[in-house]
């Protein structure tokens, strides 16, 4: 399995080098999450929060994916290109409309696609005995989450919601283009069906609905076996949402709630492991994926 996305799917690319940007990752996912995804220990304590596609991998009988930027990583069963702050649109575009940083990195979708192409030679070299064609032809590709940070960047730089919404067609087109680019990369490795008139005809595409399942968890958490719908599990304990900008999860003054297994929201912007399990189940078996992945 190969994955592309942002902080909802990053398993360590942002902090492979333990840079300053890694502090952002630890604030999002918890200090133990990096060890969970880089070292893959056999026992996963609750604080090592698994992501949606971790549960997808388990449901498909696949190993958890290593981040693609890990030096010496084992990519024989897949890789994860997602990175915290990842966007659908390129950084040059944001600069052109007056948006600079609130990004932690330059990990746009096109950058992640380049990382994937860079990995292909080594991936295909270890694909024996079935060969690269069969290996990639049987591999699931997960595109997303992407696009959220595009809107975040605009709003943080003073765009109104309506102004940011004007770029929705461009963001959607960019993501669709990324899917086509990944198909072209696979086709270049001779993975296209000889009888297929186009690479898309040989591919099974499913549409996972992230919004609907999260909206239901927030509005009626008990229906999905959860208790707290919108308040952050990890925060400073202030206000209705347990969220304060100067005391976000991972910062001084913030702490995790007593029972993350009943919460939907981890830190005000990311879902808990319990919620991720529900989302993955809705994608694997329905009704939040069309058709369900295991259909």
pTM of the model: 0.82
Residue 208: CB partners within 8 Å, gap ≥ 6?
A: 144, 283, 288, 289, 293
Task: Name all contacts of 157-161 with Cβ < 8 Å and 24+ positions apart.
Answer: 157/98, 157/99, 157/100, 157/102, 159/99
Helix H or strand E segment including 275:
helix 273-285
CB 154 within 8 A of CB 88: no
Residues 83-94: what's their mean pLDDT?
Answer: 92
Mean pLDDT of 154-171: 96
- Best CA proximity match to 265, nearest among 293, 283, 240: 240
**Hey, where are the domains in the chain?**
2-205, 210-290
> Which whole number is the average pLDDT over 190-218?
71
Residue ranges of the alpha helices (H) in 50-141?
A: 52-59, 91-96, 109-125, 131-137
For residue 263, what is the DSSP state?
E
Query: Of the ranges 27-31, 45-49, 142-146, 281-285, which is most confident?
Result: 281-285
Task: Give the highest mean pLDDT range of 7-16, 34-43, 137-146, 161-170.
Answer: 161-170
Out of 65-79, 128-142, 254-268, the most confident range is: 254-268
**Range with top average pLDDT, 3-17, 51-65, 68-82:** 51-65
pLDDT (0 to 100) of residue 43: 26
Residue 147 Ramachandran class (φ > 0 left, ψ -120 to 50 alpha, else beta): left
Q: What is the mean pLDDT of residues 77-100?
A: 91
Percent of the chain topping pLDDT 70: 80
The answer to whether residues 66 and 38 touch, using CB atoms and an 8 Å cutoff, is yes
pLDDT (0 to 100) of residue 184? 78
pLDDT of residue 181: 86
- Winning range, highest mean pLDDT, from 40-49, 85-94, 233-242, 244-253: 85-94
Tell me, what's the pLDDT at 130?
67
Average pLDDT over residues 248-271: 91
Beta strands 263-265 and 207-208: pairing type? unpaired
- CA distance linking residue 162 with residue 164, whole number of Å: 5
Nearest to 25 by CA among 42, 44, 38, 41: 38
Average of per-residue pLDDT values in the chain: 82
pLDDT at 195 > cutoff 50: no
Say yes or no to pLDDT of 171 above 70. Answer: yes
Given this model, what pLDDT does residue 201 score?
58
Q: Quote the Cα angle for 251-69-109, to 5°.
A: 85
Rounded percentage of the chain residues whose pLDDT exceeds 90: 47
The whole-angstrom separation of Cα 165 and Cα 150 is 10
**Is pLDDT of 194 > 90?**
no
d(CA 76, CA 15): 22
**Res. 282: pLDDT tops 90:** yes
Summarize the confidence of residues 68-97 as an average pLDDT: 90
pLDDT at 16 over 90: no
For residue 23, what pLDDT is reported?
44
Q: What is the mean pLDDT of residues 164-169?
A: 98
Residue 49's pLDDT band (cuts 50, 70, 90): confident
pLDDT: which is higher, 202 or 144:
144
Q: Report how far residue 70's alpha carbon sits from residue 184's, in angstroms, rounded to the nearest whole number.
A: 25
């Amino acid at each position: 399995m190969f994955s592309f996305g942002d902080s909802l799917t990053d398993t360590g690319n942002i902090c492979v080098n333990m840079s300053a940007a890694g502090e952002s990752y630890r604030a999002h996912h918890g200090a133990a999450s990096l060890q969970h995804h880089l070292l893959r220990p056999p026992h996963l304590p609750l604080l090592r929060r698994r992501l949606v596609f971790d549960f997808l991998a388990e449901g498909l009988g696949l190993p958890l994916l290593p981040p693609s930027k890990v030096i010496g990583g084992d990519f024989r069963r897949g890789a994860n290109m997602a990175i915290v702050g990842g966007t659908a649109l390129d950084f040059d575009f944001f600069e052109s409309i007056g948006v600079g940083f609130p990004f932690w990195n330059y990990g746009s979708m096109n950058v992640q696609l380049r990382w994937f192409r860079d990995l292909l030679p080594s991936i295909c070299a270890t694909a024996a005995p079935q060969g690269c064609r069969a290996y990639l032809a049987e591999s699931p590709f997960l595109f997303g989450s992407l696009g959220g940070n595009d809107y975040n960047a605009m709003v943080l730089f003073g765009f109104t919601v309506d102004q940011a919404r004007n770029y929705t067609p461009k963001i959607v087109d960019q993501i669709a283009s990324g899917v086509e680019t990944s198909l072209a990369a696979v086709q270049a490795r001779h993975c296209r069906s000889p009888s297929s008139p186009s690479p898309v005809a040989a591919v099974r595409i499913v549409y996972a609905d992230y919004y609907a399942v999260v909206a239901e968890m927030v509005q009626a958490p008990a229906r999905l076996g959860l208790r707290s719908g919108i308040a952050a599990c990890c925060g400073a304990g202030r206000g209705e949402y347990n969220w304060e900008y100067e005391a976000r999860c991972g910062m001084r003054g913030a702490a995790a709630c007593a029972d993350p297994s009943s919460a939907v929201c981890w830190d005000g912007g990311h879902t808990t492991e319990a919620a991720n399990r529900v989302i993955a189940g809705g994608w694997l078996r329905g009704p939040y994926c069309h058709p369900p992945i295991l259909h």
